[in-house]
Amino acid sequence: MPLYSGPAIDTHHHIWLRKDVAWLADPPIPRMFGDYFGIRRDYPVEEWIDDIVPQGVTKSVHVTAMWGPGRALDETKWLQATADRHGFPHGIVCNVDLADANAEAALKAQKQFPNLRGVRQMLYWDSPTVRQAVPRPDYCNDAAFRRGFALLEKHDLSFELQVYAGQAAYAAELVKAFPNVHMILVHAGMLTERTPQAIEQWRGALTTLAAFPNVHVKLSGLGMYSAGITFAQARQVIRDAIQIFGVERTIYGSNFPLEKLHMSYADFFGIYRRVLAEYTEAEQRAVLHDNAARFYRL
């Protein structure tokens, strides 16, 4: 098939001013994605637009850059003002601590912004400490977290599910308990190593979660653990994800500017285009545009 040339929606990116983002401040600390010197700077919406528009990206979803404690509402307010001025981002995913006793008040405050679509609370846990966003791998089934999670259906918000393959059984319990909450598996389930054993475990995790129709998969962050992506690496993840979830539940996202540490947007998106050229034009458009428009109501 020819390379896709229609409109695309990028459902996972960040923009920021460095002064606002706590984890970009000095001194740098170890992160799960390695050296991040190249993004410890402003990444404003103007640069984002310059990166994406030449590649046919017509809409985008901003996923919280995690400004830091007490700053979640400030981030969404800034993003909405940015969208009102520049048109991007079209959707906003905010950060809310769903285990907090005041989670509903936080959600109500976030809902005042018209571009809000969902919530991201990182739930990932793996044995290296730099891969631990929560105290334990089954935190998603903590009673306090679940009380807050139940509010997502009430407020018509989706959830960005960010877990490792080893947490799939716990995540499945959460998904099963909330069949009316639309969820999307962030960074395609975060494949960390490229060993046959790791890939097999990752495929099993995707298969477990794909059994639930309210879960989609997001093809973002594919180079997070490998300092960029090659065509072969991207092809393996994208083809497996589509085979397991189906074209209709697979959605594109870039994870820029983190992926910009290793390649330009043109080169990054070019790899996706080459991989997806193995599918029909309608299937390519579904993954790169239509599914995102439906899931995030854009």
pTM of the shown model: 0.96
pLDDT at residue number 211: 98
Strands 158-161 and 183-185, by their bridges, are parallel
Asked if residue 250 lies in contact with residue 11, where contact means CB atoms within 8 angstroms, the answer is no
pLDDT at residue number 37: 81
pLDDT at residue number 104: 97
Q: Tell me if residue 250 falls in helix, strand or coil.
A: strand
pLDDT at residue number 224: 83
pLDDT at residue number 18: 95
Asked if residue 144 lies in contact with residue 99, where contact means CB atoms within 8 angstroms, the answer is yes
Please report the beta strands in the chain, taking only residues with DSSP state E, as ranges in sequence order: 8-13, 57-63, 91-95, 116-120, 158-161, 183-185, 215-219, 250-252
pLDDT at residue number 269: 97
Q: Tell me if residue 251 falls in helix, strand or coil.
A: strand
pLDDT at residue number 131: 82
pLDDT at residue number 31: 75
pLDDT at residue number 227: 83
Asked if residue 142 lies in contact with residue 170, where contact means CB atoms within 8 angstroms, the answer is no
User: Which of 52, 50, 45, 42 is CA-nearest to residue 9?
Assistant: 52
- Non-local (6+) Cβ contacts of 248 within 8 A are 286, 291
pLDDT at residue number 295: 98
Give every residue of the chain whose pLDDT is below 50, as ranges.
none
254-285 pLDDT, tens per residue?
999 999 999 999 999 999 999 999 999 999 99
Residue 175, classified by CB atoms within 10 Å of its CB into exposed (0-12), middle (13-18) or buried (19+), is buried
pLDDT at residue number 97: 97
Angle between helices 231-245 and 265-276 (to 10 degrees): 50
- Domain 8-295 top-level CATH class: alpha beta
